[in-house]
Every structure is written in C-alpha cells, then in structure tokens.
Amino acid sequence: MSEPNVLLAIVQLIHFFIDAFCMSYIFLFNPMYDIYYCGFVFLQTIHWGLLKNECIVSYYEKTLINPNYKLGDNPKWIPHYKIYHNKITILLKAILILGTLGIVIFRNKKNDIPYICVGAIILWLYFTYFYHKSQL
C-alpha cells in the first residue's frame, strides 16, 4: 500500500471515530460532559458554514483522492461513507445525533445547555438538508 493510501485510510478511520463519538456519546459519557458535547457539535456545524458546507476532514480526504479538488465543489461527497456507511446507517447516524442532542436538552432544562443544543440542531439540519448544495 502506498503512503497516500495509508494516509487516506487513517483519515477515513479518524472521520469514522468522530461519527461514532457523536452517535454514542449519550451511552458512554456522564451528563456532566454535556456542555462539551453540545459545544463540539455546535462548532462542528459552524465550521461547515465557514468551509462551504464541507467538513475539514472530508475535504482532506477528497484532496488525498483528487489533488485538484476545490473546497465546496461537491460537499455531499463524503468518501468514508462508501467504506463505513450505507443509506440505513446514514439515517441512523442522523437519528442518533439529533436524538442525543434532544436527550441532552431534556436532562439540562435548568441551565443554558439547551440553547447550545437547539442552535446545533438548527445548524445541523440546515447544513445537512437545506443548504443550497445539499443533495441528501
């Protein structure tokens, strides 16, 4: 295996673990970390907006596959999905992430965490389903 292919495999695995973390947070971590999780998801969605609806990890994957790839050309092409996901797991991912944010809102009614969660949910839905280049 050549060096770029090894690097691509490592980057795709990192991306998979980021997805796995976002989907499994509610099952693995104590509620005292909710603010960090919500902040992570919120910043993740903000960075999509700053990078033309691209994830920085996906963009790096794409440039490893095609060195001429330009930021924002095809934001819905996510290379690691072909390896780790199918249509059912992508839907499950959306349900788990949004459901986790909903649970975090429910169990943090008495502080400001729900506001961050609602912001993250709105941005996540917008960039995933309503942004002008969305194809999902």
- The residue type of 58 is S
pLDDT tens digits in sequence order for the chain, 136 residues long: 566 688 988 998 898 899 889 889 999 999 999 999 999 999 999 998 899 888 899 899 999 999 999 998 988 888 887 777 778 887 888 899 899 999 999 999 888 899 999 999 999 888 877 775 544 4
Q: Where are the beta strands (DSSP E) in 13-78?
A: none
0.75 exceeded by the pTM?
Answer: yes
